[in-house]
Structure 1
Protein backbone atom coordinates (compact mmCIF):
# COMPACT_ATOMS: atom_id res chain seq x y z
CA UNK A 1 0.00 0.00 0.00
CA UNK A 2 1.39 3.43 -0.97
CA UNK A 3 1.49 6.33 1.45
CA UNK A 4 -1.29 8.06 -0.50
CA UNK A 5 -3.46 4.93 -0.34
CA UNK A 6 -2.84 4.65 3.41
CA UNK A 7 -3.74 8.27 4.03
CA UNK A 8 -6.76 8.25 1.71
CA UNK A 9 -8.07 5.19 3.54
CA UNK A 10 -7.58 6.90 6.89
CA UNK A 11 -9.33 10.07 5.67
CA UNK A 12 -12.36 8.03 4.64
CA UNK A 13 -12.31 6.10 7.91
CA UNK A 14 -11.94 9.18 10.13
CA UNK A 15 -14.33 11.53 8.33
CA UNK A 16 -17.36 10.74 10.48
CA UNK A 17 -18.99 12.41 13.47
CA UNK A 18 -18.28 9.40 15.69
CA UNK A 19 -14.56 10.06 15.30
CA UNK A 20 -14.95 13.02 17.67
CA UNK A 21 -16.92 12.02 20.76
CA UNK A 22 -16.59 11.54 24.52
CA UNK A 23 -14.55 8.39 23.94
CA UNK A 24 -12.35 10.22 21.43
CA UNK A 25 -12.29 13.77 22.82
CA UNK A 26 -11.14 16.76 20.81
CA UNK A 27 -11.58 20.51 21.44
CA UNK A 28 -13.74 20.78 18.32
CA UNK A 29 -16.44 18.95 20.32
CA UNK A 30 -17.04 22.18 22.24
CA UNK A 31 -16.69 24.40 19.16
CA UNK A 32 -19.32 22.32 17.37
CA UNK A 33 -21.92 23.13 20.00
CA UNK A 34 -21.87 26.82 19.07
CA UNK A 35 -20.75 27.16 15.41
CA UNK A 36 -19.31 30.57 16.21
CA UNK A 37 -15.94 31.82 14.96
CA UNK A 38 -14.97 33.58 18.22
CA UNK A 39 -15.94 30.66 20.45
CA UNK A 40 -14.09 28.31 18.10
CA UNK A 41 -10.99 30.51 18.39
CA UNK A 42 -11.12 30.30 22.19
CA UNK A 43 -11.40 26.51 21.90
CA UNK A 44 -8.43 26.37 19.53
CA UNK A 45 -6.16 28.71 21.51
CA UNK A 46 -6.56 26.65 24.68
CA UNK A 47 -5.97 23.40 22.76
CA UNK A 48 -2.61 22.42 24.23
CA UNK A 49 -1.78 19.78 26.81
CA UNK A 50 -3.86 16.74 27.74
CA UNK A 51 -6.92 16.59 25.48
CA UNK A 52 -9.27 15.49 28.28
CA UNK A 53 -8.16 18.43 30.41
CA UNK A 54 -8.58 20.78 27.43
CA UNK A 55 -12.17 19.67 26.86
CA UNK A 56 -12.93 19.80 30.59
CA UNK A 57 -11.65 23.38 30.83
CA UNK A 58 -13.51 24.52 27.71
CA UNK A 59 -16.69 22.89 28.96
CA UNK A 60 -16.41 24.98 32.14
CA UNK A 61 -16.49 28.28 30.23
CA UNK A 62 -19.67 30.31 29.82
CA UNK A 63 -19.36 31.63 26.27
CA UNK A 64 -22.46 33.81 26.65
CA UNK A 65 -20.10 36.10 28.57
CA UNK A 66 -18.91 37.41 25.19
CA UNK A 67 -22.19 39.34 25.15
CA UNK A 68 -22.05 40.49 28.80
CA UNK A 69 -20.54 43.50 30.59
CA UNK A 70 -16.86 43.73 31.49
CA UNK A 71 -17.78 43.44 35.15
CA UNK A 72 -19.76 40.25 34.57
CA UNK A 73 -16.88 38.76 32.59
CA UNK A 74 -14.35 39.56 35.31
CA UNK A 75 -16.60 38.18 38.05
CA UNK A 76 -17.55 34.98 36.23
CA UNK A 77 -14.01 34.12 35.12
CA UNK A 78 -12.22 35.18 38.29
CA UNK A 79 -11.46 31.59 39.27
CA UNK A 80 -10.81 30.19 35.78
CA UNK A 81 -7.23 29.36 34.86
CA UNK A 82 -5.58 26.80 32.61
CA UNK A 83 -1.96 25.67 32.74
CA UNK A 84 0.10 28.74 31.68
CA UNK A 85 -2.89 31.08 31.75
CA UNK A 86 -4.03 32.88 34.90
CA UNK A 87 -7.61 34.02 35.36
CA UNK A 88 -6.47 37.48 34.19
CA UNK A 89 -5.25 35.98 30.91
CA UNK A 90 -8.57 34.17 30.37
CA UNK A 91 -10.53 37.31 31.20
CA UNK A 92 -8.42 39.40 28.82
CA UNK A 93 -9.11 37.07 25.88
CA UNK A 94 -12.85 37.29 26.52
CA UNK A 95 -12.71 41.09 26.85
CA UNK A 96 -10.67 41.49 23.65
CA UNK A 97 -12.97 39.21 21.64
CA UNK A 98 -16.06 40.94 23.06
CA UNK A 99 -14.69 44.31 21.85
CA UNK A 100 -13.85 42.85 18.46
CA UNK A 101 -17.31 41.31 17.99
CA UNK A 102 -18.91 44.72 18.56
CA UNK A 103 -17.07 46.38 15.68
CA UNK A 104 -16.19 43.67 13.16
CA UNK A 105 -15.69 39.92 12.64
CA UNK A 106 -12.65 37.68 12.84
CA UNK A 107 -13.26 36.67 9.24
CA UNK A 108 -13.15 40.28 8.02
CA UNK A 109 -9.91 41.02 9.88
CA UNK A 110 -8.38 37.80 8.58
CA UNK A 111 -9.46 38.55 5.00
CA UNK A 112 -7.98 42.07 5.18
CA UNK A 113 -4.59 40.47 5.83
CA UNK A 114 -4.98 37.42 3.61
CA UNK A 115 -6.75 38.77 0.52
CA UNK A 116 -3.82 40.40 -1.29
CA UNK A 117 -1.16 37.79 -0.54
CA UNK A 118 -3.23 34.57 -0.25
CA UNK A 119 -0.94 33.90 2.71
CA UNK A 120 -2.82 32.70 5.79
CA UNK A 121 0.06 33.83 8.04
CA UNK A 122 -0.72 37.43 7.06
CA UNK A 123 -4.35 36.88 8.01
CA UNK A 124 -3.41 35.43 11.39
CA UNK A 125 -0.99 38.29 12.01
CA UNK A 126 -3.79 40.77 11.33
CA UNK A 127 -5.99 39.17 14.00
CA UNK A 128 -3.19 38.93 16.59
CA UNK A 129 -2.32 42.60 16.02
CA UNK A 130 -5.98 43.62 16.34
CA UNK A 131 -6.47 41.69 19.60
CA UNK A 132 -3.49 43.44 21.21
CA UNK A 133 -4.66 46.84 19.95
CA UNK A 134 -8.25 46.39 21.14
CA UNK A 135 -7.23 45.35 24.65
CA UNK A 136 -3.58 46.14 25.41
CA UNK A 137 -2.28 43.61 27.90
CA UNK A 138 0.91 41.64 28.30
CA UNK A 139 1.84 38.61 30.38
CA UNK A 140 3.75 35.42 29.65
CA UNK A 141 0.53 33.42 29.74
CA UNK A 142 -1.38 35.75 27.45
CA UNK A 143 1.44 36.03 24.92
CA UNK A 144 1.70 32.23 24.90
CA UNK A 145 -2.07 32.03 24.38
CA UNK A 146 -2.49 34.29 21.36
CA UNK A 147 1.11 34.46 20.16
CA UNK A 148 3.06 37.23 18.47
CA UNK A 149 3.10 38.59 14.93
CA UNK A 150 5.13 36.11 12.86
CA UNK A 151 7.63 37.49 10.35
CA UNK A 152 9.66 34.39 9.51
CA UNK A 153 9.02 30.68 9.04
CA UNK A 154 12.36 29.12 9.96
CA UNK A 155 12.83 28.87 13.71
CA UNK A 156 9.39 30.34 14.34
CA UNK A 157 6.61 28.61 16.28
CA UNK A 158 4.41 26.44 14.07
CA UNK A 159 1.23 28.41 14.91
CA UNK A 160 -0.42 25.02 15.42
CA UNK A 161 -3.49 26.26 17.30
CA UNK A 162 -4.14 29.09 14.85
CA UNK A 163 -3.73 26.76 11.86
CA UNK A 164 -6.12 24.27 13.45
CA UNK A 165 -8.70 27.01 13.96
CA UNK A 166 -8.38 27.99 10.30
CA UNK A 167 -8.92 24.37 9.30
CA UNK A 168 -12.09 24.33 11.35
CA UNK A 169 -13.28 27.59 9.79
CA UNK A 170 -12.48 26.83 6.16
CA UNK A 171 -12.94 23.09 5.64
CA UNK A 172 -16.45 21.66 5.64
CA UNK A 173 -16.85 17.94 6.36
CA UNK A 174 -17.93 15.68 9.22
CA UNK A 175 -15.05 16.95 11.37
CA UNK A 176 -14.57 20.64 10.48
CA UNK A 177 -17.09 23.47 10.80
CA UNK A 178 -16.83 25.23 7.43
CA UNK A 179 -18.05 28.63 8.71
CA UNK A 180 -16.04 30.65 6.17
CA UNK A 181 -16.29 30.48 2.40
CA UNK A 182 -13.78 33.10 1.18
CA UNK A 183 -10.52 31.30 2.00
CA UNK A 184 -9.03 28.83 -0.45
CA UNK A 185 -8.48 25.41 1.17
CA UNK A 186 -5.29 25.09 -0.89
CA UNK A 187 -3.77 28.00 1.07
CA UNK A 188 -4.18 26.39 4.49
CA UNK A 189 -1.07 25.26 6.39
CA UNK A 190 -0.82 22.11 8.49
CA UNK A 191 -1.49 22.55 12.22
CA UNK A 192 1.77 20.83 13.06
CA UNK A 193 1.84 19.09 16.44
CA UNK A 194 4.11 16.39 17.86
CA UNK A 195 1.97 13.61 16.36
CA UNK A 196 1.79 14.96 12.81
CA UNK A 197 5.47 15.97 12.95
CA UNK A 198 6.60 12.45 13.93
CA UNK A 199 4.24 10.68 11.53
CA UNK A 200 5.23 13.01 8.71
CA UNK A 201 8.89 12.17 9.25
CA UNK A 202 8.24 8.42 9.62
CA UNK A 203 6.30 8.36 6.34
CA UNK A 204 9.02 10.33 4.55
CA UNK A 205 6.73 13.32 3.96
CA UNK A 206 8.90 15.65 6.01
CA UNK A 207 12.68 15.89 5.91
CA UNK A 208 13.04 18.93 8.14
CA UNK A 209 14.18 17.97 11.65
CA UNK A 210 13.26 21.28 13.27
CA UNK A 211 9.73 21.59 14.64
CA UNK A 212 8.79 25.03 13.32
CA UNK A 213 6.53 26.88 10.89
CA UNK A 214 8.80 25.99 7.97
CA UNK A 215 8.28 22.29 8.78
CA UNK A 216 4.51 22.83 8.77
CA UNK A 217 4.76 24.43 5.31
CA UNK A 218 6.99 21.64 3.99
CA UNK A 219 4.59 18.95 5.22
CA UNK A 220 1.69 20.86 3.64
CA UNK A 221 3.53 20.98 0.32
CA UNK A 222 4.19 17.24 0.49
CA UNK A 223 0.49 16.58 1.07
CA UNK A 224 -0.36 18.79 -1.91
CA UNK A 225 1.19 16.04 -4.05
CA UNK A 226 -1.77 13.90 -2.94
CA UNK A 227 -4.44 16.61 -3.10
CA UNK A 228 -3.38 20.02 -4.35
CA UNK A 229 -6.75 21.62 -3.65
CA UNK A 230 -7.29 20.32 -0.11
CA UNK A 231 -4.03 19.14 1.51
CA UNK A 232 -5.37 19.54 5.05
CA UNK A 233 -7.95 16.84 4.56
CA UNK A 234 -5.08 14.58 5.70
CA UNK A 235 -4.40 16.47 8.94
CA UNK A 236 -6.84 14.68 11.22
CA UNK A 237 -5.88 11.30 9.77
CA UNK A 238 -2.16 11.95 10.38
CA UNK A 239 -2.94 13.13 13.90
CA UNK A 240 -4.91 10.00 14.75
CA UNK A 241 -2.24 7.73 13.20
CA UNK A 242 0.27 9.22 15.61
CA UNK A 243 -2.02 9.54 18.63
CA UNK A 244 -3.15 5.91 18.34
CA UNK A 245 0.44 4.78 17.62
CA UNK A 246 -0.56 3.14 14.33
CA UNK A 247 2.48 4.70 12.65
Structure 2
Protein backbone atom coordinates (compact mmCIF):
# COMPACT_ATOMS: atom_id res chain seq x y z
CA UNK A 1 0.00 0.00 0.00
CA UNK A 2 1.13 3.53 -0.71
CA UNK A 3 0.79 6.21 1.96
CA UNK A 4 -2.68 7.30 0.89
CA UNK A 5 -3.96 3.73 0.75
CA UNK A 6 -2.45 2.96 4.14
CA UNK A 7 -4.07 6.02 5.69
CA UNK A 8 -7.45 5.08 4.21
CA UNK A 9 -7.06 1.50 5.49
CA UNK A 10 -6.19 2.66 9.01
CA UNK A 11 -8.96 5.27 9.02
CA UNK A 12 -11.48 2.54 8.21
CA UNK A 13 -10.12 0.36 11.02
CA UNK A 14 -10.43 3.27 13.47
CA UNK A 15 -14.10 3.61 12.49
CA UNK A 16 -14.56 -0.16 12.86
CA UNK A 17 -13.09 -0.44 16.36
CA UNK A 18 -13.67 2.97 17.96
CA UNK A 19 -17.24 2.09 18.96
CA UNK A 20 -19.11 1.41 22.19
CA UNK A 21 -18.73 -2.35 21.58
CA UNK A 22 -15.00 -1.92 22.23
CA UNK A 23 -15.62 -1.02 25.88
CA UNK A 24 -16.96 -4.39 27.03
CA UNK A 25 -13.66 -6.17 26.44
CA UNK A 26 -11.29 -3.37 27.44
CA UNK A 27 -10.18 -1.93 30.80
CA UNK A 28 -11.44 1.49 29.65
CA UNK A 29 -14.75 0.20 31.03
CA UNK A 30 -13.52 0.86 34.59
CA UNK A 31 -13.44 4.69 34.47
CA UNK A 32 -16.75 4.52 32.60
CA UNK A 33 -18.32 3.25 35.83
CA UNK A 34 -18.10 6.74 37.34
CA UNK A 35 -19.43 10.24 36.68
CA UNK A 36 -17.36 12.49 38.96
CA UNK A 37 -14.17 13.77 37.32
CA UNK A 38 -11.86 12.70 40.13
CA UNK A 39 -13.42 9.24 40.35
CA UNK A 40 -13.01 8.79 36.60
CA UNK A 41 -9.36 9.80 36.50
CA UNK A 42 -8.34 7.80 39.59
CA UNK A 43 -10.19 4.70 38.36
CA UNK A 44 -8.60 5.15 34.94
CA UNK A 45 -5.12 5.64 36.36
CA UNK A 46 -5.29 2.55 38.58
CA UNK A 47 -6.78 0.26 35.94
CA UNK A 48 -4.24 1.49 33.35
CA UNK A 49 -1.44 0.84 35.86
CA UNK A 50 -2.24 -2.88 35.99
CA UNK A 51 -3.08 -3.17 32.27
CA UNK A 52 -0.63 -5.85 31.27
CA UNK A 53 -1.24 -9.54 30.80
CA UNK A 54 -4.57 -11.27 30.21
CA UNK A 55 -7.27 -8.69 29.48
CA UNK A 56 -10.02 -10.55 31.34
CA UNK A 57 -7.79 -10.71 34.42
CA UNK A 58 -6.92 -7.01 34.08
CA UNK A 59 -10.62 -6.14 34.05
CA UNK A 60 -11.43 -8.51 36.91
CA UNK A 61 -8.64 -7.14 39.09
CA UNK A 62 -9.49 -3.54 38.20
CA UNK A 63 -13.03 -4.15 39.45
CA UNK A 64 -11.48 -5.66 42.58
CA UNK A 65 -9.48 -2.47 43.12
CA UNK A 66 -12.66 -0.41 42.94
CA UNK A 67 -14.44 -2.73 45.37
CA UNK A 68 -11.60 -2.47 47.89
CA UNK A 69 -12.03 1.32 47.74
CA UNK A 70 -15.78 1.04 48.35
CA UNK A 71 -16.44 1.94 44.70
CA UNK A 72 -15.64 5.55 45.65
CA UNK A 73 -12.02 6.00 44.58
CA UNK A 74 -11.67 9.76 45.15
CA UNK A 75 -13.30 9.63 48.56
CA UNK A 76 -11.07 6.70 49.50
CA UNK A 77 -7.91 8.46 48.32
CA UNK A 78 -8.72 11.61 50.26
CA UNK A 79 -10.15 10.19 53.51
CA UNK A 80 -8.85 6.64 54.01
CA UNK A 81 -7.70 5.54 57.46
CA UNK A 82 -4.79 3.24 58.21
CA UNK A 83 -7.33 0.47 58.84
CA UNK A 84 -8.78 1.07 55.37
CA UNK A 85 -5.32 0.61 53.86
CA UNK A 86 -4.85 -2.74 55.59
CA UNK A 87 -7.53 -4.37 53.46
CA UNK A 88 -5.73 -3.28 50.29
CA UNK A 89 -2.80 -5.49 51.25
CA UNK A 90 -4.68 -8.58 50.02
CA UNK A 91 -4.63 -7.29 46.44
CA UNK A 92 -2.33 -8.75 43.82
CA UNK A 93 -2.09 -8.44 40.04
CA UNK A 94 1.04 -10.05 38.68
CA UNK A 95 3.91 -8.05 40.23
CA UNK A 96 1.63 -5.25 41.51
CA UNK A 97 0.79 -6.21 45.08
CA UNK A 98 -1.03 -4.83 48.10
CA UNK A 99 1.97 -2.86 49.30
CA UNK A 100 2.15 -1.14 45.92
CA UNK A 101 -1.58 -0.41 46.10
CA UNK A 102 -1.16 1.21 49.52
CA UNK A 103 1.74 3.28 48.21
CA UNK A 104 -0.33 4.45 45.26
CA UNK A 105 -3.10 5.61 47.63
CA UNK A 106 -0.66 7.73 49.61
CA UNK A 107 0.92 9.21 46.49
CA UNK A 108 -2.47 9.99 44.94
CA UNK A 109 -3.57 11.67 48.16
CA UNK A 110 -0.44 13.83 48.02
CA UNK A 111 -1.19 14.75 44.40
CA UNK A 112 -4.77 15.79 45.14
CA UNK A 113 -4.01 17.56 48.42
CA UNK A 114 -0.83 19.37 47.40
CA UNK A 115 -0.65 19.48 43.60
CA UNK A 116 -4.24 20.16 42.43
CA UNK A 117 -4.88 16.65 41.09
CA UNK A 118 -3.80 14.39 38.26
CA UNK A 119 -4.79 16.66 35.38
CA UNK A 120 -2.88 19.63 36.77
CA UNK A 121 0.24 17.52 37.29
CA UNK A 122 0.25 16.08 33.76
CA UNK A 123 -0.63 19.41 32.15
CA UNK A 124 2.16 21.27 33.92
CA UNK A 125 5.15 19.88 32.03
CA UNK A 126 3.75 19.23 28.55
CA UNK A 127 5.98 20.45 25.73
CA UNK A 128 5.07 21.78 22.31
CA UNK A 129 5.06 18.36 20.68
CA UNK A 130 4.94 15.64 23.33
CA UNK A 131 3.78 14.45 26.74
CA UNK A 132 6.93 12.42 27.39
CA UNK A 133 8.68 15.01 29.61
CA UNK A 134 5.41 15.45 31.49
CA UNK A 135 5.18 11.71 32.17
CA UNK A 136 8.76 11.67 33.44
CA UNK A 137 8.12 14.64 35.74
CA UNK A 138 4.91 12.98 36.93
CA UNK A 139 6.84 9.91 38.04
CA UNK A 140 9.25 12.05 40.05
CA UNK A 141 6.40 13.90 41.75
CA UNK A 142 4.43 10.70 42.37
CA UNK A 143 7.32 9.30 44.36
CA UNK A 144 8.35 12.49 46.15
CA UNK A 145 6.88 11.17 49.41
CA UNK A 146 8.33 8.17 51.30
CA UNK A 147 7.65 4.95 49.39
CA UNK A 148 8.88 1.43 48.78
CA UNK A 149 11.54 1.32 46.08
CA UNK A 150 9.83 -1.71 44.51
CA UNK A 151 6.74 0.38 43.73
CA UNK A 152 8.64 2.69 41.36
CA UNK A 153 8.72 0.04 38.65
CA UNK A 154 4.97 0.37 38.15
CA UNK A 155 5.28 3.82 36.59
CA UNK A 156 7.44 4.11 33.48
CA UNK A 157 9.80 6.94 32.59
CA UNK A 158 9.94 7.80 28.87
CA UNK A 159 13.18 9.73 29.40
CA UNK A 160 14.75 6.37 30.33
CA UNK A 161 13.70 5.06 26.89
CA UNK A 162 10.47 3.40 28.04
CA UNK A 163 7.48 3.34 25.71
CA UNK A 164 5.34 4.03 28.82
CA UNK A 165 2.44 2.15 27.23
CA UNK A 166 0.11 2.19 30.22
CA UNK A 167 0.40 5.90 30.99
CA UNK A 168 0.04 6.79 27.31
CA UNK A 169 -3.13 4.68 27.24
CA UNK A 170 -4.41 6.45 30.35
CA UNK A 171 -3.75 9.84 28.73
CA UNK A 172 -5.64 8.71 25.63
CA UNK A 173 -8.64 7.84 27.80
CA UNK A 174 -8.56 11.20 29.60
CA UNK A 175 -7.73 13.57 26.73
CA UNK A 176 -9.30 12.33 23.48
CA UNK A 177 -12.65 13.97 22.75
CA UNK A 178 -14.17 12.41 19.64
CA UNK A 179 -17.73 11.77 20.92
CA UNK A 180 -17.53 8.08 19.99
CA UNK A 181 -18.05 7.04 23.60
CA UNK A 182 -14.86 5.05 24.22
CA UNK A 183 -12.32 7.63 25.34
CA UNK A 184 -13.71 9.85 28.08
CA UNK A 185 -12.13 13.17 27.07
CA UNK A 186 -12.58 14.86 30.46
CA UNK A 187 -9.22 16.67 30.46
CA UNK A 188 -9.34 19.92 28.48
CA UNK A 189 -5.86 21.28 29.28
CA UNK A 190 -3.92 18.73 27.18
CA UNK A 191 -4.29 18.62 23.41
CA UNK A 192 -4.82 15.18 21.83
CA UNK A 193 -2.21 16.27 19.29
CA UNK A 194 0.47 15.76 21.96
CA UNK A 195 -0.49 12.18 22.82
CA UNK A 196 1.54 9.10 21.95
CA UNK A 197 0.28 5.70 20.86
CA UNK A 198 0.21 3.05 23.60
CA UNK A 199 2.93 0.87 22.10
CA UNK A 200 2.89 -2.79 23.11
CA UNK A 201 3.55 -6.21 21.59
CA UNK A 202 0.36 -6.22 19.49
CA UNK A 203 0.41 -2.65 18.18
CA UNK A 204 4.16 -2.86 17.61
CA UNK A 205 3.92 -6.03 15.52
CA UNK A 206 1.08 -4.62 13.41
CA UNK A 207 2.96 -1.34 12.93
CA UNK A 208 6.01 -3.23 11.66
CA UNK A 209 3.95 -5.32 9.24
CA UNK A 210 2.42 -2.12 7.87
CA UNK A 211 5.81 -0.43 7.48
CA UNK A 212 5.12 2.18 10.17
CA UNK A 213 7.90 0.98 12.44
CA UNK A 214 11.37 -0.36 11.75
CA UNK A 215 12.86 -0.54 15.24
CA UNK A 216 12.71 -4.05 16.70
CA UNK A 217 12.26 -3.13 20.39
CA UNK A 218 9.05 -1.63 21.76
CA UNK A 219 10.84 1.17 23.58
CA UNK A 220 10.93 4.96 23.70
CA UNK A 221 12.85 5.25 20.42
CA UNK A 222 10.30 3.04 18.68
CA UNK A 223 7.50 5.16 20.12
CA UNK A 224 9.07 8.32 18.70
CA UNK A 225 9.36 6.64 15.29
CA UNK A 226 5.73 5.47 15.35
CA UNK A 227 4.47 8.83 16.62
CA UNK A 228 6.12 10.66 13.73
CA UNK A 229 4.43 8.36 11.20
CA UNK A 230 0.98 8.59 12.80
CA UNK A 231 1.22 12.39 12.99
CA UNK A 232 1.66 12.43 9.21
CA UNK A 233 -1.77 10.78 8.94
CA UNK A 234 -3.50 13.01 11.50
CA UNK A 235 -1.50 15.68 13.30
CA UNK A 236 -4.43 16.71 15.51
CA UNK A 237 -5.39 13.24 16.74
CA UNK A 238 -2.60 10.74 16.01
CA UNK A 239 -3.50 8.25 18.76
CA UNK A 240 -6.86 7.45 17.24
CA UNK A 241 -4.81 4.95 15.22
CA UNK A 242 -4.28 2.96 18.40
CA UNK A 243 -7.76 1.56 17.76
CA UNK A 244 -6.66 0.38 14.31
CA UNK A 245 -3.33 -1.12 15.39
CA UNK A 246 -4.77 -2.74 18.51
CA UNK A 247 -7.88 -4.02 16.72
CA UNK A 248 -5.86 -5.52 13.89
CA UNK A 249 -3.56 -7.24 16.37
CA UNK A 250 -6.05 -8.49 18.95
CA UNK A 251 -9.23 -9.12 16.97
CA UNK A 252 -7.87 -9.97 13.51
CA UNK A 253 -4.49 -11.52 14.36
CA UNK A 254 -3.11 -9.38 11.55
The two structures have a TM-score, normalised by structure 1, of: 0.89
Partners of 1:13 and 1:182 lie apart in 2 by 28
- 2:10 alignment partner in structure 1: 7
Matched, 1:52 2:49: no
- 1:26 alignment partner in structure 2: 26
Partners of 2:111 and 2:20 lie apart in 1 by 31
1:168-201 Cα deviation digits (max 9, x unpaired): 1110232111011121222111110111100000
Asked whether the equivalents of residues 120 and 188 of structure 1 are also in contact (C-alpha less than 8 Å), the reply is: yes
1:146-165 alignment to 2 at 5 Å? 146-147=155-156, 149-152=157-160, 156-165=161-170
Partners of 1:217 and 1:30 lie apart in 2 by 29
Gaps of 5+ in 1: none
| RMSD over aligned Cα atoms | 1.7
SS in 1 for 2:143: helix
- 1:43 alignment partner in structure 2: 47
Matched, 1:136 2:158: no
Partners of 2:63 and 2:12 lie apart in 1 by 32
Q: Pick from 186, 198, 203 the counterpart of residue 205 of structure 2.
A: 198
Asked whether the equivalents of residues 207 and 213 of structure 2 are also in contact (C-alpha less than 8 Å), the reply is: yes
- 2:172 alignment partner in structure 1: 167
Partners of 1:32 and 1:129 lie apart in 2 by 28
- 1:74 alignment partner in structure 2: 85
Asked whether the equivalents of residues 176 and 185 of structure 2 are also in contact (C-alpha less than 8 Å), the reply is: yes
Asked whether the equivalents of residues 112 and 126 of structure 1 are also in contact (C-alpha less than 8 Å), the reply is: no
- 1:111 alignment partner in structure 2: 123
Displacement of 1:69: 2.3
Partners of 1:110 and 1:209 lie apart in 2 by 29
1:60-116 Cα deviation digits (max 9, x unpaired): 1223522332413322212111110221111111121122212221111112211x5
Partners of 1:15 and 1:46 lie apart in 2 by 22
- 1:87 alignment partner in structure 2: 98
User: Residues 209 and 132 of structure 1: is their aligned pair in 2 closer, same or farther, counting only changes over 3 Å?
Assistant: same
Q: Pick from 204, 207, 226 the counterpart of residue 214 of structure 2.
A: 207
Gaps of 5+ in 2: none
Comparing 184-193 with 68-77, which one deviates more in the overlay? Answer: 68-77
User: Residues 184 and 215 of structure 1: is their aligned pair in 2 closer, same or farther, counting only changes over 3 Å?
Assistant: same
1:191-247 Cα deviation digits (max 9, x unpaired): 101111000000111111222111112112111221121111110221010012342
Q: Pick from 132, 138, 145 the counterpart of residue 127 of structure 1.
A: 138
- 1:219 alignment partner in structure 2: 226
